Amino acid sequence: MRRDFKVISQWITPDSHILDLACGDGELLQQLQRNKNIKGYGLEINEANILKCIKRRVNVIEQDIDEGLHNFADKSFDTVVMTSALQALRNPDKVLDEMLRVGKECIVTFPNFGHWRCRLYLSLRGRMPVSEFMPYSWYDTPNIHFCTFKDFEALCHNKKLDIVNRLVTDQQHHRNTLGQIIPNLFGEVAIYHLRPKLR
Amino acid sequence: MSEIAQESSVGLVTPELMSFTTPLTLSCGRELSQYDLMIETYGTLNPSRSNAVLICHALSGDHHAAGYHSPDDRKPGWWDTSIGPGKAIDTNRFFVVCLNNLGGCAGSTGPTSINPNTGKVWGPDFPVVTVDDWVESQARLADHLGIEQWAAVVGGSLGGMQVLEWSIRYPERLRNAVVIASAPKLSAQNIAFNEVARQAIMSDPDFCNGRYLEADTLPAAGLGLARMVGHITYLSDDAMKEKFGREMRDTHFNFDFGIEFQVESYLRYQGESFSKRFDANTYLLMTRALDYYDPASRFDNNLVKALSHTTARFFVVSFTTDWRFSPERSEEIVNALHMARKEVSYLKIDAPQGHDAFLMDIPRYTEALGAWMSHIANECEPGSAEQ
């Protein structure tokens, strides 16, 4: 299993009701169905991915999450998950609000633009970072809202969100020591487990 | 019937007439003491009787969903694109059943049948049947065929409404539900189109208050007009633009009201050929069944509540340019299903053909339906891990 999925799986309550935003080919939901006996749905707009979900017998609903989750009721899911899609959203902050409206908690993963390689690339070459991990040019990238871990945590603070868990990995989703010590410089991918702060 | 078509076709098929003698009480309160259903089946029922699929037809459909009745047939059944060996609804794996619904005009008991109480043609005296009545009669057909539980019930448009009703009325009798280009009830605009169609029929002098068969005539003009209106609503603006544009028959205007544009010629042809093969009273009945259907009305107008006892796994499909049964209407079904925490997948297929798209071989649609049905077929096989 993909390392990030393994981490997410550990944070998911067995038999719970899950919504997976931008669920891709449905691998995570399939794993969670098998290992955690969860029920739920994936939302996706990529046609090829939707077909893969159907082939996996994963419930998939064709819906653009940038248009909101207005058709889902408050607190109707135990956990709302979104992996590697935050940076591609038009309104990531609003989607985060929506996730915590329809779910009791959420799990989000995204790449760290504050990683030392990005910083080095920009400072030495004076160009927007392009790498194997982020292979797009600035004009054709689907990733329109990059942020660093610090940026994201500032947003969580503004929204009064509790960070229940946080895990930093590299792009192969392995943990490394430096990434644990100075995550914003050495972590490449972050997995955040969030809840609204109890008042 | 071309040879190429034969390879993936169920080939020559023969309809069968099933007679029922147990009286059926209808939603309107009236009773049919006996009735016939014309059916077609494709494929073989497996020993555990677990691989049966029911196909529910739409407004003008019938039991002839796939294959050919004679080698001279120019066209196969109405859903031959999806039913056949190796097709999305694979007749090598499923036992497929399709019937002409009660009130129809293709062999099942309906307005053109003889009323056993009078010895005369039913005509306008045939009871107004509903989607609920159809599902009841289909359940009896299932009993008759020894099918306790359908692997899937599948339908588009008005057929999709029958699928919904099956899932609500007999949750234990189907494992999967495929609802295509449908709605949980008609909108006012949709009822309005049906009313225009009915008025076109009923205002034809040859309609004779529905007793045209006794008067040895046919309200062909009215029925043709009804079909023309319907046909416009089944196509998208783009599809019509693509097909006809403003193309003319002549190079110049004739300054009269004959056929000037190709679209006029097409619509008139559609109207005329339809009025030759379809019964006007059946058309009235079918549109009424559409108007009346609203399962939520039995559950405090709450569709979530209506679907809360369903156990089927749902597959819902809509088409972007379908404005008669728009994607928003399919999404009402999907939303109610996920709110009721039911198993559901939903596809919104980008297709230019309008409502008619549901009958066409659109690669993404056909492939997804096939993938979904293939899981069901796997589950029908003994010792399957998926079961």
**A74 at the B interface (CB within 8 A)?**
no
Q: How many domains does chain A have?
A: 1
Query: Can you give the pLDDT at residue B6?
Result: 63
How high is the mean pLDDT of chain B? 95
Chain A residue numbers with beta carbons less than 8 Å from the beta carbon of B341 are 17, 39
Sign (positive/negative) of CA torsion B109, B111, B114, B115? Answer: positive
Residues of B with CB under 8 A from a CB of A: 331, 334-335, 338-339, 341, 343-348, 364, 367-368, 371-372, 375, 386
Contact A53 B345 (CB under 8 A): yes
CATH for A75: 3.40.50.150
* Residue numbers of the domain that contains A19: 3-112+146-196
Query: Can you give the pLDDT at residue A135?
Result: 84
Q: How far apart are CA A199 and CA A196, in angstroms?
A: 9
Asked if the interface predicted TM-score (ipTM) of this complex is over 0.85, the answer is yes
Residue A127 lies in a domain: no
CA B52-B54-B55 angle, to 5 degrees, is: 140
Q: How far apart are CA B381 and CA B387, in angstroms?
A: 8
Closest chain B C-alpha to A148 CA, distance in angstroms = 35
Contact B367 A39 (CB under 8 A): no
Chain A residue numbers with beta carbons less than 8 Å from the beta carbon of B367 are 51
Residue A87 lies in a domain: yes
Mean pLDDT of B179-202: 98
Contact A61 B341 (CB under 8 A): no
Cβ-proximal residues to B160 (8 Å cutoff; 6+ apart), any chain? B56, B179, B180, B181, B182, B183, B325
Query: Can you give the pLDDT at residue B387?
Result: 42
Residue A119 lies in a domain: no
Chain B residue numbers with beta carbons less than 8 Å from the beta carbon of A39 are 341, 343
pLDDT surpasses 60 at B225:
yes
How high is the mean pLDDT of chain A? 91
Chain B residue numbers with beta carbons less than 8 Å from the beta carbon of A72 are 338-339
Contact B371 A71 (CB under 8 A): no
**A1 at the B interface (CB within 8 A)?**
no
Mean pLDDT of A164-193: 78
Residue A105 lies in a domain: yes
Percent of chain B with pLDDT over 90: 96
Residue B231 annotated in active site: no
Cβ-proximal residues to B207 (8 Å cutoff; 6+ apart), any chain? B201, B219, B222, B280
A36: pLDDT confidence band, cut at 50, 70 and 90? very high
Q: Which two tokens stand for residue B155?
A: 């339908």
Residue A104 lies in a domain: yes
Least confident residue range of A131-145, A154-168, B63-77, B247-261: A131-145
Mean pLDDT of A27-54: 97
Contact B344 A51 (CB under 8 A): no
pLDDT surpasses 80 at B348:
yes
Least confident residue range of A18-22, A116-120, B204-208, B239-243: A116-120
Residue A130 lies in a domain: no
**A50 at the B interface (CB within 8 A)?**
yes
Give residue for tokens 């306790």.
Answer: B148
Contact B368 A51 (CB under 8 A): yes
pLDDT surpasses 60 at B1:
no
Best mutation site among A20, A43, A71, A76 for testing chain B: the one with the most B CBs within 10 Å?
A71
Of A50, A60, A71, the CB nearest to B331: A71
Q: Which two tokens stand for residue A120?
A: 């080095």
Q: Identify the residue with better confidence: A130 or B5.
A: A130
Residue closest to B358 by CA, chosen among B157, B197, B178, B209: B157
Contact A62 B339 (CB under 8 A): no
Contact B341 A39 (CB under 8 A): yes
Mean pLDDT of B301-328: 98
pLDDT surpasses 60 at B303:
yes
Query: Can you give the pLDDT at residue A188?
Result: 84
Mean pLDDT of A56-60: 97
Residue A25 lies in a domain: yes
Q: How far apart are CA B137 and CA B333, in angstroms?
A: 24
Over residues A97-135, the pLDDT tens digits come to 999 999 999 999 998 888 888 888 889 998 888 877 778
Cβ-proximal residues to B246 (8 Å cutoff; 6+ apart), any chain? B261
Mean pLDDT of B351-380: 96
Residue in chain A closest to B376 (alpha carbons) equals A57
A174: pLDDT confidence band, cut at 50, 70 and 90? low
Least confident residue range of A12-21, A123-132, B219-228: A123-132
Question: Is the separation of the CB atoms in B222 and B202 below 8 Å?
Answer: yes
pLDDT surpasses 90 at A179:
no
**A55 at the B interface (CB within 8 A)?**
yes
Residue B57 annotated in active site: no
Residue in chain A closest to B343 (alpha carbons) equals A59
Read off the pTM. 0.95
B385: pLDDT confidence band, cut at 50, 70 and 90? low
Q: How far apart are CA B99 and CA B63, in angstroms?
A: 4
Residue in chain B closest to A19 (alpha carbons) equals B338
Residue B144 annotated in active site: no
Chain A residue numbers with beta carbons less than 8 Å from the beta carbon of B371 are 51, 54-55
Question: Is the separation of the CB atoms in A77 and A18 below 8 Å?
Answer: yes
Mean pLDDT of B36-52: 97
Query: Can you give the pLDDT at residue B5?
Result: 54
Over residues B67-115, the pLDDT tens digits come to 999 999 999 999 999 999 999 999 999 999 999 999 999 999 999 999 9
CA B144-B147-B150 angle, to 5 degrees, is: 135
Residue A135 lies in a domain: no
Of A54, A73, A76, the CB nearest to B368: A54
**A21 at the B interface (CB within 8 A)?**
no
Query: Can you give the pLDDT at residue A132?
Result: 74
Closest chain B C-alpha to A185 CA, distance in angstroms = 41
Residue in chain B closest to A47 (alpha carbons) equals B364
Task: Give whole-number Cα distances, B170 to B101, B140, B290, B303, in Å.
Answer: 18, 12, 20, 16
Contact A50 B368 (CB under 8 A): yes
Which of the following is catalytic: B157, B167, B236, B318?
Answer: B157
pLDDT surpasses 70 at B4:
no
